[in-house]
Amino acid sequence: MEEHSVHVDANAMIKKLKEEGILLVWDRLKEQEPQCGYCSLGLSCRNCAMGPCRIDPFGEGPQKGVCGADADVIVARNLARAVASGAASHSDHGRDLVEVLARVGKVKAYSVKDAEKLKKVAQEYGINTNKSVEEIAFELAEAMLEDFGSKKEKIQFVNRAPKKRIELWEKLGIIPRGIDREVVEIMHRTHMGVDNDPVNILLQCLRTALADGFGGSMIATEVSDILFGTPEPKMSEINLATLKENEVNIVLHGHNPIVSDAIVEAASDEELLKLAKEYGAEGINLAGLCCTGNEVLMRKGIPMAGNHLIQELVIGTGVVDVIVVDYQCIMPAIVDVAKCYHTEVVTTSPKAKFKGAIHIEFTPENAHEKAKEVVKLAIERFRERKAELVKIPNVKPNKLMTGFSVEAILKVLGGTLQPLIDAIKNGSIRGVVGSVGCNNPKVKQDYSHITLAKRLIENDVLVVDTGCAAVADAKAGLKVPEAAELAGEELRKVCESLGIPPVLHFGSCVDNSRILVALSALANELGVDISDLPAAGAAMEWYSEKAIAIGAYFVASGLLVVLGVPPPIYGSKLVLDVLTSKVEELTGGKFVVEPDPEKAAEIIIKHIEDKRRKLGI
């Protein structure tokens, strides 16, 4: 059997499920092949009822749609709509958290866990902090909600960027004015008969992406820290062996910590633990998937089962009693797979209902009650397990160190960035790379993430990672202090002196905003722009529209971003040229597409060395 993953536990489960006749994501991909060439190139358009239209990439067929739009316009519009969707997804996540923050003191389920950070962020918004925590939380929530509207000239957290970067954005006219406003404007511009200048459309892509990176995503990260605690370094475990055959297993999947935090609390309820034992279980075990898993891993040390392409396989172990989801990156297929076992899929958001799942809707007012309901359901399902279908891969859980927020890194460095600056200047750390993004079944699971990280740290490049990339590197053993042995000599010394791994876990996908904060702070300390730093980004196995928005706000911020999966822009030479070349003249950043992680590492290392030379270090 062809191995679809680099991991022993994943391949063992793929084999098991295939033997049981269950279709998986790789099977469904094969059924779709050959995939539509027009769509892959970005040359299809269905924005109006005169279509759908397509452009012939070979120049022999239609070169314009019914309305007259050519390849450049169609590709740019399609990309813009993807950026709008990605930015909307992360930003709406942030809005949900802000609405919870506004209810602090009025609901029992949630409270402020980091009052110091609450006050610090409130001061950025000009809020007087000489009042109760509840009053500050409400005023901050109200102020943040203004960032979603259209009354302001720019969103608040843009001010965290270096002065040179802000001036550049102002010159280009891409300062985000409001999160919702920029998303709406993209949808307006890409309606038939509005914006038909592809370069102008691409500039709006950058502005909307910045509304996500310095807006919705950054708000989501900051409010999560305020409500659930700012992450600090801690040890935990990862892979499918974190599931327990003799315990009730609840898997937390999705992206928003509002639900998962309540489930974590309910799982330690004495009455529910007693009930679990009465039903024959030795306890209640929690494991995370995707970014909800990253959230509770970072803050509470909850073990991680895996990332995006593990979600069907985790059910196939036969020991998952409930998989509880919120939204984003949840395959509809998990409901079908669950029907083959005793597992119940529980949806919790009115925005994300799944046909065939049980819906238990969570609100700030009922979170405690509903969390206990979910845990009780899992206990009841425990008795329905089918022993003949139970098989947890015969591997040991991998260890990992997690919890590297910007605040935690500053604490490790003694409260100042100076040690990091000194290490970069003297070459102990050649540069910093953010490895982010998803899994894509078109790529052998986690191979590109892990290979890139290994090559970078071998060359004394510090890696910070988020999302599925973070899970990949952890499963490969790169997130323990002992992994410093795999790094170059100089980086190894730095890691050993600080007791940290050479690959630092920065959190979930929205926590890419932590990378922006860290790079902005570093640039400010050095008196340069972000584009001057020996830094880059990579999304080697991306698949989602959110990843397109993330890549766009990194490029808009002045960074080189290497993509391992080609985006649907190759149908337009103009769009391709702008995003991989011309945009560098505007923002200092650009995209490079390189599927081979070995070559991607070479590109990034050369870029870092070029930046070091220009800085004179």
- pTM of the predicted model, to two decimals? 0.97
Task: Let me know: does 377 contact 346? Beta carbons within 8 Å.
Answer: yes
Burial of 469 (0-12, 13-18, 19+ CB in 10 A): buried
CA atoms in the 13 A half-sphere facing the CB of 123: 8
**282-340 pLDDT per residue, tens:** 999 999 999 999 999 999 999 999 999 999 999 999 999 999 999 999 999 999 999 99
- What are the sequence ranges of the domains in the chain? 65-228, 240-389, 405-615
Mark 171-193 as b/e (b = at least 16 C-beta within 10 Å): eeebbbbbbbbbbebbeebbebe
Residue 150's pLDDT is 81
Q: Which amino acid, residue 213?
A: G
- What does the H/E/C string look like for 150-169? CCCCCCHHHHHCCHHHHHHH
CATH topology of domain 65-228: Substrate Binding Domain Of Dnak; Chain:A; Domain 2 (1.20.1270)
> What are the distances in angstroms from CA 212 to CA 188, 278, 529?
18, 48, 20
Q: Which amino acid, residue 298?
A: M
Task: Let me know: does 447 contact 472? Beta carbons within 8 Å.
Answer: no
Residue 232's pLDDT is 97
**Residue 139 CB coordination number (10 Å):** 18
CA 287 to chain centre: 18
Name the average pLDDT for the chain: 97
Measured between alpha carbons, how far is 17 from 506 in angstroms, rounded to an integer? Answer: 33
Measured between alpha carbons, how far is 257 from 261 in angstroms, rounded to an integer? Answer: 6
The residue count of the chain comes to 617
Question: Tokens 């999966």 — which residue?
Answer: 565
Cis, bond preceding 52 (omega within 30 deg of 0): yes
Per-position DSSP letters for 296-359, written without gaps between them: HHHHH---EEE-GGGHHHHHHTS-EEEEEE-SSS--THHHHHHTTSS-EEEE--TT---TTSEE
Burial of 485 (0-12, 13-18, 19+ CB in 10 A): exposed
Task: Let me know: does 208 contact 202? Beta carbons within 8 Å.
Answer: no
Measured between alpha carbons, how far is 9 from 398 in angstroms, rounded to an integer? Answer: 11
Going by the annotation, the residues of the binding site for [4Fe-4S] cluster are 36, 45, 48, 53, 67
Which 3 state secondary structure label does DSSP give 607? helix
Going by the annotation, the residues of the binding site for [Ni-4Fe-4S] cluster are 255, 291, 329, 438, 468, 509
Residue 2's pLDDT is 67
Which 3 state secondary structure label does DSSP give 399? strand
Which residues make beta-bridge pairs with 358? 346
Measured between alpha carbons, how far is 482 from 501 in angstroms, rounded to an integer? Answer: 7
Same fold, 65-228 and 405-615: no
Going by the annotation, the residues of the binding site are 36, 45, 48, 53, 67, 255, 291, 329, 438, 468, 509
Residue 514's pLDDT is 97
Strands of the 304-306 sheet, one edge to the other: 358-359, 344-347, 320-325, 248-254, 284-289, 304-306, 234-238, 398-402
Tokens of 123: 């001061």
Residues of the chain with pLDDT under 50: 1
Class of domain 405-615: alpha beta
Residue 151's pLDDT is 85
Q: Which CATH architecture has domain 240-389?
A: 3-Layer(aba) Sandwich (3.40)
**Residue 480 CB coordination number (10 Å):** 17
